[in-house]
Structure formats: C-alpha cells, structure tokens
Structure 1
Amino acid sequence: MRILITGGTGLIGRHLCKALLQADHEITVLSRQPATVKEKCGATVQAIGSLDEWRRNQVFDAVINLAGEPIVDAAWSTKRRELLWQSRVTLTDALVQRINASNQKPAVLLSGSAVGYYGDGEEQVMDETSPAATDFGAALCVAWEQAALKAVPMGVRVCQLRTGLVLDRTGGILGKMRQPFKLGLGARLGGGHQWMSWVHIDDYVAMVLVLLHNTQASGAFNMTAPEPVTNRAFTEKLARALHRPALFVAPAWVLQLALGDRAYLLLGGQKVIPVGITALGYRFLHPKLEYALSDLVG
C-alpha cells in the first residue's frame, strides 16, 4: 500500500513506520522538518513539508493522521490553545480537503483522537458508545473527530483512534517517569484514585495495522489495553518493575498551582475499555500492566 502519515516523526509514528516498512508498504511522511524524516522514520521513507505537495494525480491508498502538538507540555495560554487546535482540527480539515481534491481518494483514513474525549469519568467504565465531556480537552477531541468524519461522504472509510497513555521504552509517559522512579523519587498524583487507560506501543501499532487492513472497521476505537489501572496502582507497579520504592505523593494543590488548567489531565482520568478492537478479534500482546512494564523497563 502507498500510505501518507502525518505526525510520522513522533513516538507512535516512528514505530508505525518501522512496522509498515517491514511489511513492504510505501511510506510518505508529512513533516514540518522533512529533512529529518529519513533519519527518524527510515531511509526509504519519502517526505513532504506541506499538504500542497500532494498532487492531484498522486495516489495514496491510506492516510494515517497522527499529528498534534503535545497537550501537557506547555501552559494553556490563548496562544497555546490555538496551537493545539490548529495542529489537530485545522490540520485534519486541510487533510480532508486534500483528500477531496485528489483524483483517486484513499480507501481509509485513520485519524487521531484521545481518551480525553470522555473527560474525567471517575469510576464509570467507558467504551466507544460513552458520551463526550465538555471540557477543553474533550471539545478538542470532538472537533478533531468531526473534522475526520467529513471524509466519509467522499467514500473514505474513517476510523478515529481514541488513544490512551502509550507506553514505550524511551519516550512518552515512561520517558518522563523513568528517571525519577529509578532515583527512588516516584510519586503518586494526588489521591491516586484516578484511572489511567494505558497501552503498550507494540499493541498500539498492531491495532493500527488491524484497522488499516480490516475493511469492516469504521468509527471510534479506544486504543487502550483491556485493564486500566488507578494512578496508585500504576505508581506501585512501575516502582516494582524498577526495583525501587515509591514513597512520595504529589499533592493535588501543588499540581494545580504548577499546571493550572492542565492539572485535571493528571488528577482526573478515564476507565476505558477497548470494546471496538476486541470485537474485531484483536488479542492483546500485553493486556496486563505489570507484564507490559516488565517488557519495557524491567
């Protein structure tokens, strides 16, 4: 298949490019720094720096839309909120417009979203049929998904990837947590009762490949492992995997003072289960957190 990927130089994108290249697919990555694409994604990967470079007669069989600025890394000023919106919703709108302008449209669009769609669900178990929340993160996800769905009337199969916390050896949440925990400075967040819906990077990539090839798959999919855990349990299991204690607590008021509006991303959570991908017959490689962490950091 000839596949266009946005966000291909990110954590998930790099792993996905590797898997797709191993399966002999032809990959093109849209990047603001196209000169870095071959180094990050693979020597045979082609790069474009703008959607304007997608010619009308250029054929992509599939588009995988993973682009989006990190949501936690900077304070949510008005300018930052606009950047988060532009990098997700505006870019997806532009991507769908390019799909519409192409002479031969891709068969499928796999487009990013996040479990933040559901807001802070407290103890409620949520699947793909659960309603969206109304906070900024949820509104961002809703608009992001709606932008992708504009491709459906064009005859394009659309899957929305409601992504949880992706666990990887070197990046993502483990990349931020690993060193403090190795130093014995691991801490639960607030009361630690908030739920964390996580997924091993290998499962994430494998699920994307299922959705890419299964022509019956469409709509929203929770890209999470089947057994979410509380922050308290996550903290204990990560500390155990690293053979370190985790004796500290980051008080909620400290996080709120330091992060402002973003604190709810750490102090709230979602108890999400992946009904959609399981119904397609997918069997998880790493369904339990302790074994996933053992594989990644043990």
Structure 2
Amino acid sequence: MTDSPLPPGSRIAIAGASGMIGSALTRSLTSDGHEVIRLVRHAPRAKNEVQWDPDAQRIDAAGLVGCAAVVNLAGAGVASRRWTEAYKRKIRDSRVLGTATLAEAVASLEEPPGVFVNGSAIGFYGDTGGRAVDESAPPGDGFLPALCVEWEEAAGAAQEAGIRTVFPRTGLVVAGKGGAWGKLFPLFKAGFGGRMGDGRQYWSFVSLHDEVAAIRHLMETVSLSGPVNLTAPDPLTNREITEAMGHVLHRPTLFTTPAPLLRLALGEMSSDILGSQRVLPTRLLESGFTFAFPSIESALRAALT
C-alpha cells in the first residue's frame, strides 16, 4: 500500500548499490522498469554510473538530475572486523561524510528528488533489554547509538531544503548471503550452531525481501518522513531464534558461545551481539505496510530458497 507509486521508468540513484541490500533493491527496481543510477567511486564505466568520493565529500551532482528518489545505503560493514579506533572512525566517516555529501548534492539541485531515503539502524536505541521500543524512543548509549544520531543528523541539508527525508532504521537482515545470517547459516548447517551468551537478548530481525519492500514503501509513501523501523513485528530472543534455526535446518543446536569468550574474541563489537534490542515497526505498520515473512521461520525459509 503506497500513496504515490513511482511511474515505470523513474530514475532512482542508489549509493551502496553493490551491497547486500542495495543489490537486492536494484534488482527489484529494475525488474519493474525503473532506471537505477549507481553511485560508484571509480570513473563511470556505464551510462547508469555516477562518480562520487564520500571521503573527500565530492560528487558529480549533475548525475542526479532527474532522479525521482535518492537512496543512500553506503557504509563500511559494522561487523566486518574488530572495532579498533581506526575502524570505528572508518565506520563513522563512511556514513556521516557520505550522507552529508549526498544531502548537500540533492539540496543543490534546481529540481530535487521527491524523497531522500538515508539508511540508519536500530543501533540507534542501544541495549533496550526486554523493553520494547519504537520510533518514539530516545537514542541509547555507546558507539552505535552515537553513530546513528550523527548519521541521521548529517542529512540536515536535504531536510532544510524541504526534501522528504526518511531514515529506515534497519534490524538484523535475514539473507542467505551477507549480513549476520551469511555467517550464521554455515555454522548451523554444519551442526555447530547454538545460542550466544545466555540467549535472552532480543534480536530484531527482518527478511531481505521485506527489507527491500519496506524501502520501496518508504520511497512511495509521501506521508512518511523521519525515522521508520524496518524490523519484523515480533522480535525474538537469541535462544528462540537458535531453536528456529535448528528446526528449519534440521540440525542440533547444542553449542553455546559464552559471553566472556565473545567479548575476548570480538572486543567492543561483542556488545552488538550480546546486547538486547526489542524494536517494533510501529510507523511502518501504521502506514499500511504488510510483511510477507513476519515470522523467523518464514524469514529463514525465504532466505534459503
């Protein structure tokens, strides 16, 4: 359900089009006849590529002319490596500088896009324990909440220019390849899966299919702006998700990874695994969005097909 579907052939720019979510979104849009403009760091090799350098805050803004929407999903992987101070700086700069660059570029256009969709994450809320939170909750404490606040604030130029700006705060994306489940599936398939820590921490997940559908919903629903949580309606604990993984894959889930071992192996990044985030998609549901794979079992089966 949308307020204003994009007409076929709409021009849509995507930063981060080669990533897990970006590539799935690109496939979805092109299959419906839209023209996807990919923002790339190298010299353009095709007519649908526009060069940008988010680190230097440079972009060929002329390449964004005529875009009905601009989507920013670019950023260094949060779980790609241990959080050294240098890598935390890279995580931050890749998001904040890139967002500022794009926001200023779209704001400078004589005819700006109708919507700027700028990625964010449920890391905004920090560790919520067993308490359910939605978009009305304040930011939490720590590196990820501070990052998300700065990330969203970096889009200020677009908002000040009157461009509808939406922040999809994405949860843990259930996909066959990439993201958290890209690492979990091989372990569970081999019979080495199990809960992490005490297993009582909430994981707010979303299927890749619903993630893409929700982003498209944000693009086309003119009543939506600001933060919107992209998570399935019923977040589950790590223990419950572990049981579902075992059931779907027909594998035992006897192994456990003690919290102290995770902290030793992953350092500060372990807080993202051991922390509890019970996040609800209140605004998404209120706007009429319907999940295709709302349960963890349906999301897992969709990822494996």
TM-score range, shorter chain: over 0.9
| Inter-partner Cα distance in structure 2 for 1:150 and 1:101 | 9
> Residue 203 of structure 1: CA displacement?
0.7
Shift of 1:85: 1.1
1:14 alignment partner in structure 2: 23
Q: 2:289 aligns with which of 266, 269, 282?
A: 282
CA displacement, residues 90-136 of structure 1 (integer Å, 9 cap, x when unaligned): 11011111112222211100111100000010000000001101211
Q: Who is 1:199 aligned against?
A: 206
Q: Which amino acid aligns with 1:112?
A: G
CA separation in 2, counterparts of 1:35 and 1:97? 21
CA distance in 1, matches of 2:164, 2:247: 43
2:91 equivalent to 1:84:
yes
Which residue among 15, 32, 35 is the counterpart of 1:23? 32
Task: Look up the match of 1:42.
Answer: none
> Matched residues in 1 for 2:63 and 2:72: separation?
19
The residue identity in structure 1 corresponding to 2:29 is: L
- Which deviates further from its counterpart, 98-107 or 194-203? 98-107
Cα pair 2:67 2:113 within 8 Å, conserved: yes
Change beyond 3 A, Cα 1:155–1:290: same
Offset at 1:57?
8.0
Contact kept in structure 2, 1:149 and 1:158, CA below 8 Å:
no
Structure-1 residue corresponding to 2:51: 49
> Which aligned pairs between 1:213-232 and structure 2 lie closer than 5 A?
213-232=220-239
Question: 1:242–1:297: 8 Å Cα contact kept in structure 2?
Answer: no
Equivalent residue number for residue 124 of structure 1? 131
Specify whether residues 15 and 249 from structure 1 end up closer, same or farther in structure 2 by C-alpha distance, changes over 3 A only.
same
Q: TM-score, with normalisation over the residues of structure 2?
A: 0.91
Counterpart CA distance in 1 for 2:79 and 2:120 is 15
Task: Summarize the alignment of residues 1-298 of structure 1 with structure 2, pairs less than 5 Å apart.
Answer: 1-33=10-42, 46-50=48-52, 51-55=58-62, 58-297=65-304
Alpha-carbon distance in 2 for matches of 1:269, 1:21: 37
SS of the equivalent of 2:240 reads: helix
Deviations 1:137-166 (A, max 9, x none): 100000111112431120100110100011
Distance 1:181 1:146, change over 3 A: same
Q: Mark the CA change 1:96 to 1:297 in structure 2 (over 3 Å): closer, same or farther.
A: same
TM-superposed deviation, 1:281: 0.8
**TM-superposed deviation, 1:33:** 4.9
1:187 is paired with a residue of what secondary structure? coil
Structure 2 residue runs of 5 or longer lacking an equivalent are 1-9, 53-57
* Offset of residue 78 of structure 1: 2.0
* TM-score (norm. length: structure 1): 0.93
> Structure 1 residues 26 and 187 mapped into 2: Cα distance closer, same or farther (>3 Å)?
same
